[in-house]
Amino acid sequence: METNPWAWYTDAEVFRREDERIFRRSWQYVAHAGELPGPGTFLTGRAGLTPVVLTRGGDGGLNAFLNVCRHRGFPVAEGSGRRETLQCGYHGWTYGLDGSLRAAPRSDRETGFDRAELGLRRVQVDAWGPFLFVNPSLEAPPLAETLRDLPERVAAAGVDVDTLEFRLRSEWESEANWKLACENFLECYHCQIAHPGFSAMMDVSPDAYLLEAGPTYSTQLAALRPDGVNAYDPAGEVERGQFHFVWPSLAINIVPGRPNLSIGPVLPVSPSRTYRFLDYFFAPGADEAWIEDLLAFDNQVGAEDTVLVEGVQRGVSAGGLESGRLLPRSEVLIADFQQRVAAALAV
């Protein structure tokens, strides 16, 4: 099976169309609820290339807007924190946490200036447990239609997301197209060669490592090797690994052991650069040494993956070949992902 053209991993126009036709129309994880602990708090993030700001108004209600001033386009917020208003740092236009334009210097000198028409542009916002999602499209179906039965599957695995406690956010960038990072996540064909620690612990044989494609998300299920060499203690309520991928670029990881979950998007930066973060959550009272061992294990796998995707980016950028080949059984989730990308670009 032939891959999508390798030029799609380097071309600036393809990159622009992906942002317009994929990321601006999709639900994407941006933060956890603990970052907005009460009225008057805000945080900033991205949905693809689209900057967003989330706020909790005086009534505690959750709002989300484009982080773009209606005047000249400068951001109205940076980072996160607590404040009563959002203010553009360019000309001082000031907005309420409900998005309404409160003040615009010298606007009283202009005829026909209507503040009511110049509030921040809203985006959709919704939550699954503590996980906050945004969608730049106001016409998109609700988040529940993207998640489908994923919350129930996570709960059945022994993870109650409503009781999890946030531990840390890990952030990094790689010199690779965002699609290569997604495709790397979507198969374990490479695990035996590239992830010796993971493969020593998990059964990555094709009959044991299960791949499931779905309408809006895919799943990989990994059992522990009965004779495995464990990088951390896998005993606990979670009996096997679950690795979910929610279109277009969200990774959710649950590994065997005590209740745990990491979640984070693959975000495009340029045709050849990607930003990623993972938010890690654990059950209350989880043993500190156990958490440190699990994080070391995960960091090692992540470092190995970065080497892989950066190597592939150099290969697809070389120009010697037009495309590659996929193994339809071992790389069925990549095939599904590439078909979705092709369909979006064809619209």
75-125 per-position pLDDT tens digit = 999 999 999 999 999 999 999 999 999 999 999 999 999 999 999 999 999
Do the Cβ atoms of 106 and 49 come closer than 8 Å? Answer: no
Query: To 5 degrees, how large is the angle CA 123–CA 127–CA 128?
Result: 150
CA dihedral 227, 230, 234, 239 (to 10 degrees): -40
- Please name each of the domains of the chain with its CATH number: 28-139 (2.102.10.10), 146-346 (3.90.380.10)
Q: Which residue(s) pair with 46 in the sheet?
A: 51
Residue entry with tokens 């601006």 = 24
Do the Cβ atoms of 245 and 182 come closer than 8 Å? Answer: yes
Residue 193 backbone phi and psi in degrees, to 5: -85, -45
Do the Cβ atoms of 89 and 73 come closer than 8 Å? Answer: no
As a whole number of angstroms, the distance between CA 20 and CA 165 comes to 34
What percent of the chain has pLDDT above 70?
A: 100
26-54 per-position pLDDT tens digit = 999 999 999 999 999 999 999 999 999 99
pLDDT at 58: 87
Do the Cβ atoms of 267 and 249 come closer than 8 Å? Answer: yes
Residue 179 backbone phi and psi in degrees, to 5: -65, -35
Show the DSSP H helices in the chain as ranges: 12-21, 143-147, 150-156, 178-185, 191-194, 196-201, 288-317, 332-346
Question: 47: closest CA among 108, 137, 182?
Answer: 137
Mean pLDDT across 306-315: 98
234-284 per-position pLDDT tens digit = 999 999 999 999 999 999 999 999 999 999 999 999 999 999 999 999 999
Strand arrangement, sheet containing 62-66 = 62-66, 50-56, 41-47, 80-82
